Amino acid sequence: MTRYLYAAAATALIACTISFPAAADTLVHNVDGITVGEDGDIERFDALVFDDEGRITQVLERGEDRPDGLDYAIDGKGQVMLPGMIDAHVHVMDIGFAALTLDLSDTQSLEEALERIAQFAQDNPGRPWILGRGWNQETWGLGRFPTAAELDAVVPDRPVWLERADNHANWGNSLALEQAGITADTPDPEGGRIIRDANGDPTGVFVDNASALVGDFVPEPRPEDRDAAFAKAQERLLDYGVTAVADMGTTIADWHTFRRAGDKGRLTVRIMAYADSPETLETIAGPSPTPWLYEDRLRFNGVKLYLDGALGSRGATLKEPYADAPDTTGLALLTPAQLRNRMSRAAMSGFQTAIHAIGDAANAEVLNAVEELSESYSGDRRWRVEHAQIVDVADLPRFGDHGIIASMQPLHQTSDRSMAEARLEEDRLGGAYAWRSILEAGGRLAFGSDAPVEPADPFAGIAVAISRTDAEGEPFGGWRPQETVSREQALDAFTAAAAYAGFADGRFGRLVPGERADFLLVDRDPLLASPQDIRATDIGQVWIGGRRVR
């Protein structure tokens, strides 16, 4: 449950001016305040004041006089005050659904798994199906697949459907099989296998394509399931100090979930939404972006387009074949004509486009398209390239043209580096996760996590951005350390620049007068701490729009 605590509840009342009901000004003082200023430089301050609409009215330096007529004062007790972190690339609903699904990946035996399943079912009485993932009979030392009967013994009253750790098999109980109409007569589908006993009766496990025989009967999440997932996602984000996100691939159902939360006063985290398709965009927003709704908490900015896939599955499109698969250069998901068509359809209505491009060919193609479209669609477009992981060195300078924003995820660099080295020869890695080169070319950098693919932890992101090392400090000295950015640049990319990337500059992202009072109180200064210490940052308080939310 998200907690809204009015400033009044958490603070000492200084004075109550009954004759002036309007201006309730709150002072937060005795803080070590840090923000990225208008010109990109770091500004430090000692206190700030916000009004009853949660907008900052004053930022005070040490020794400056306190304003008169304050209603509340909060002693920051010397903690470090940072702007709320902004994650420029997440999948909000997936964060929530992943958190609500039973995770069996660390179970050591069938008995332990069954115990966990029983407990989960008991803890979630309202769920029509019990869904989970991560089991592996080999880790359990079982020597066979588990059975429906074993699940029936712990959950007899509802269908249970659990995905194996490798995604290549599923395990269901008898009710799940019954609802899907599975009997001994059900044939194995092409490319799939139903595990059976000596009599030919299905025992509960379905391999590869056979999984769809039951999986197709798992009900779509109900609105209340979506609401629960969204609440969970907000909780996770706030735990990491994230107060605003760009949601990449918003569906119609996702949008309705955000709106329901907004209507009921439960929308806490600010969301800049990018539709999963031009059709969704037109259905929801109509002829132009929505206004900012719910006090700058929600706006439909534009559309997310996928130009290629990922490097891991060799879906990313490359200029030359994969080093470890010389017969392929990846798979383009849009033709050049389709890409331009979709981009101009969005641009014509004043929408922003965010284009997923991972391989060097995909990135070159986006740059080509932006160059061409910029002639017809001038003005402040803020074309976004999502991921921009592998860029041909020759194309790096082009990120400085036409106000392009590279929306990148530092944590992908540490997760992917060995894989990237396998997929590409050394001389093709010159523009890999090339944060500094893009900044030096004059491009704008916005940082994010791609959660739930990576944890939505901006402090881990900052640590990677300044060191190119992982949580263990590997590799020593950093991977291609010439592409690290400064602490100031990393903080900017997770705050002010991420707001700019979503047309939210002037509203939030900086602690300056006129912007919303979205801030964190933490126990250390990321501009002074080591990467390992930054990862261990303790987030004491989270405030959004002048209200404490965590």
Which chain residues interact with Zn ion by CB under 5 A? Answer: 248, 450
Contact criterion met (CB below 8 Å) for 77 and 30: yes
Q: How far is the CB of 470 from Zn ion (least distance, A)?
A: 20
> Mapping DSSP to helix (H, G, I), strand (E, B) and coil, where does residue 548 land?
strand
The total of other beta-carbon atoms located within 10 Å of residue 532's CB is 13
368: burial class by Cβ within 10 Å (0-12, 13-18, 19+)? middle
Query: CB-wise, 160 or 248, nearer to Zn ion?
Result: 248
DSSP state of 501: T
Q: CA neighbours within 13 Å on the CB side: how many for 203?
A: 14
Query: CB-wise, 56 or 85, nearer to Zn ion?
Result: 85
Query: CB-wise, 93 or 248, nearer to Zn ion?
Result: 248
Question: Facing residues of 270 across strands?
Answer: 244
Q: Which of 357, 322, 309 is nearest to 428 (CA)?
A: 322
Query: CB-wise, 296 or 450, nearer to Zn ion?
Result: 450
291 token code pair: 């206004």
- Single-letter code of the amino acid located at 186: T
Residue 455 preceded by cis peptide, ω within 30 = no
Query: CB-wise, 352 or 484, nearer to Zn ion?
Result: 352
Distances in Å between the alpha carbon of 300 and those of 414, 439, 455, 481?
A: 31, 27, 24, 37
Spatial separation of the C-alpha atoms in residues 345 and 347, rounded to whole Å = 6
Residue of minimal Cβ distance to Zn ion: 450
141 token code pair: 């030392």
Query: CB-wise, 94 or 296, nearer to Zn ion?
Result: 94
Query: CB-wise, 71 or 450, nearer to Zn ion?
Result: 450
Contact criterion met (CB below 8 Å) for 297 and 270: yes
Please state at what angle helix 223-239 crosses helix 92-100, rounded to 10 degrees.
100
Q: How far is the CB of 80 from Zn ion (least distance, A)?
A: 30
Query: CB-wise, 154 or 248, nearer to Zn ion?
Result: 248
DSSP state of 298: E
Query: CB-wise, 276 or 492, nearer to Zn ion?
Result: 276
Beta strands in 55-168 (DSSP E): 56-60, 72-75, 80-83, 85-90, 102-103, 130-135, 160-164
